[in-house]
Amino acid sequence: MEEMAVRSRPELFDFHGVSMVNYFTDNWEDVQKFKARPDDILIATYPKAGTTWVSQIVDLLYFGKTLPERKDSIPIHERVPFLETSFPGLPRGTELADSMTSSPRVIKTHFPVQFVPKSFWEQNSRVIYMARNAKDNAVSYFHFDRMNFVEPEPGDWPSFLQRFKKGDVVFGSWYDHVKNWWEKKEINSNILYMFYEDLAEDTDREINRICSFLGISPSKEERDYVRGQVDFNTMKNNRMANYSTISVMDFKISPFMRKGKVGDWKNHFTVAQNEDFDEDYQKNMANTTLHFKTEI
Ligand code: A3P
C-alpha cells in the first residue's frame, strides 16, 4: 500500500481560470518545462472519462507481449505516470516520467488543452483524448470525490451536480475541457479523439482505431488478449489496474471500478435535475459540432 501524507481534503482555487487543487499545480514550473519525446503517447481526459481503461489498453498493446510480468507487478499509475501530480511522500509525475526506461512512454494528464506542456506539441507526440458524456461523467466524478481524500469534499449529489455544471470541480468545466480538446483535434492530426460510449459499445473496433492511430499492427491473438484483459470485471479484480494499492481511496465508500456502464446517470438524476441539466447543456454545447451518446 502506498502511503501519502494527506491529512485533510484540499481546497479548490482558481488557477489561470480553471478550478484546481494544489496537488496538480504545486509542480507547475517543472511540468511546463517537461521534455516530451517524439514517441511519447499522452492520454488526456477529463477526470472519470475512462482514463484507466485507455491506459491499460495502450500499455498492454505495447508491453503485454514483450514484458508480460509488467501488468501483474506494476500498478497502472506507475506504468502510466500522471504528469501533473505532486502528492506528499510520492515521486512527482514528472520524476516518474523522466525516470522511465521503457519506450514508448505512456503518460496521463487531466489538463485542459491550454495547460499541456508545449514540448508535447513541439515533438509531435501522439495524444489520445477520451471523452465521456457529461451525465455519466458527473455521476462517476461524484462517487470518486466521496471516496478519494485528495479531492475536495463533494457534499451531496444535488450540490455536486450544481458545481459540476458551473465547472467548480477539479480540472474545471467539463464543457470547456471536451470542447477545447475537440477544437485542438480539428487542427492537429496527432490527436485521436475517442468516446467512452464507443469503447463500451464495440471494444474491438476501438482497439483497432487505437492501433491504426499509433501505427502498430499486433496480431489478432494479441488484440484478443488485450481485449480480454480490459474487460470491466477483469480490470476491477486486477490489483495492478484497480487502484487498490493507493491509501487515500476508501473502497468501502465506493470502489474505483464502480459500475463501468453507459447510462448509470438515470439512477442518479431526478426528472427535474435532468430537465435543468439538459437546458444548461444545450446552451453550453450550442457552439460546437461535438456530440455525445448518453445511452447505447
Ligand atoms: P464509473 O464510476 O461510472 O464506474 P478514470 O479512469 O478516468 O478515473 O475513469 C473511471 C471510470 O471508468 C469509472 O466509471 C470506471 O468504472 C470506468 N472504467 C474503468 N475501467 C473500465 C473498463 N474496463 N470498462 C468500463 N468502464 C471502466
User: Where does ligand 1 bind, in terms of residues with CB under 6 Å?
Assistant: 45, 47-53, 136, 140, 143, 230, 232, 235, 257-260, 264
110 is known as an active-site residue: yes
Q: What is the pLDDT of residue 69?
A: 87
Of all residues in the chain, what percent carry a pLDDT higher than 90?
92
Predicted ipTM beyond 0.85 = yes
Region label for 260, one of left (φ > 0), alpha (ψ between -120 and 50) or beta (otherwise): left
Cα–Cα distances (Å) from 275 to 133, 261, 271, 278, in that order, read 16, 22, 6, 5
CA of 160 to the centre of ligand 1 (A): 19
Residue 1 has pLDDT above 80, yes or no: no
Residue 6 has pLDDT above 70, yes or no: no
Question: Which residue's alpha carbon is at the smallest distance from atom 20 of ligand 1?
Answer: 53
pLDDT tens, position by position, 165-219: 999 999 999 999 999 999 999 999 999 999 999 999 999 999 999 999 999 999 9
Q: Edge-to-edge, what's the strand order for the sheet holding 41-45? A: 106-109, 41-45, 126-131, 191-195
Within a 10 A sphere around the Cβ of 205, how many other Cβ atoms? 10
Q: What is the pLDDT of residue 67?
A: 87
pLDDT tens, position by position, 11-69: 999 999 999 999 999 999 999 999 999 999 999 999 999 999 999 999 999 999 888 88
Give the strand pairing for 18-20 and 191-195. unpaired
Q: What is the pLDDT of residue 7?
A: 63
- Over the chain, what is the mean pLDDT? 96
Nearest atom in ligand 1 to 230's CA: 23
Residue 2 has pLDDT above 70, yes or no: no
Residue 42 phi/psi, 5° resolution? -100, 125
Q: Hey, which residues does 109 pair with through a beta bridge?
A: 44
